[in-house]
Structure 1
């Protein structure tokens, strides 16, 4: 069974999903899947094109915002803000462990005006520590 962890009422984070997890996501109310994993990071994992095809076949929206080892850019944060604003229902963001997806959600949420303390608590409740991106969250929240 997939490990979808709620970050908010409409956003879930997950470790790498498999093709059958797309159907589970749909039955769980997810309408948008966001892939935060670069292709080729783990060659045995389903790559972006395969997940996208499965998502589209299931009637779900699919967005790729890969986060590599170089970290987060404002372009990626802005892309997540747009994904969150454009989602027609719940969103599932995934990467290798769910951490990068959680970090990106936290940064986008802060940029959208959410309180960094509330973001931090929501992430902790889901099992994620966002302290590595907390200074960036604080900066985005004050813009």
Structure 2
């Protein structure tokens, strides 16, 4: 499992597995957000399997799927609500982590400036510079 730390309270990851939940809980994560629709690719664990393992490990689990490069306002608001209400560190995942970090940058729960969000993503290994205009909305 590869975790990219974005801020003190938030990280993203490519696809995780049910067996990763105990390790995440042990690392101090309290909330997991899945940003993948079920059945996106063969071999992908189901949302139900991840949810069951997360809850068994004492983690809150939320499913906010986005696909096709679209980040609809309801998904951004849901992501922001989960982040704002989270008690402790949050890990969001998708196929590569890009959708998750994009949702976080658009939600801007930590009230960072545009440049700060782009730089935080860059430090975590993601280039969000093409979103500069949309981040200013």
TM more than 0.5 = yes
Q: Is the 8 A contact 1:6 1:12 kept in 2?
A: yes
Partner-residue secondary structure (3-state), 2:104: helix
How far apart are 1:70 and its partner, in Å?
5.0
Q: CA RMSD in A?
A: 1.2
Q: Distance in 1 between matches of 2:111 and 2:84?
A: 13
Partner-residue secondary structure (3-state), 1:76: helix
Q: Is the 8 A contact 1:15 1:97 kept in 2?
A: yes
Q: Is the 8 A contact 1:17 1:94 kept in 2?
A: yes
Q: Is the 8 A contact 1:14 1:98 kept in 2?
A: yes
Q: Give the count of matched residue pairs.
A: 137
How far apart are 1:132 and its partner, in Å?
2.9
Q: Distance in 1 between matches of 2:111 and 2:7?
A: 14
Alignment of 1:27-66 (within 5 A): 27-66=26-65
1:79 has 2:78 as partner: yes
Q: Distance in 2 between matches of 1:69 and 1:102?
A: 15
Q: Which residue of 2 aligns with 1:95?
A: 94
Q: Which residue of 2 aligns with 1:11?
A: 10
Q: Which runs of 4+ in 1 moved over 3 A?
A: none
Q: TM-score under structure 1 normalisation?
A: 0.92
Q: TM-score under structure 2 normalisation?
A: 0.95
Q: Are the structure 2 counterparts of residues 12 and 70 from structure 1 closer, same or farther at C-alpha, using a change threshold of 3 Å?
A: closer
Partner-residue secondary structure (3-state), 2:95: coil
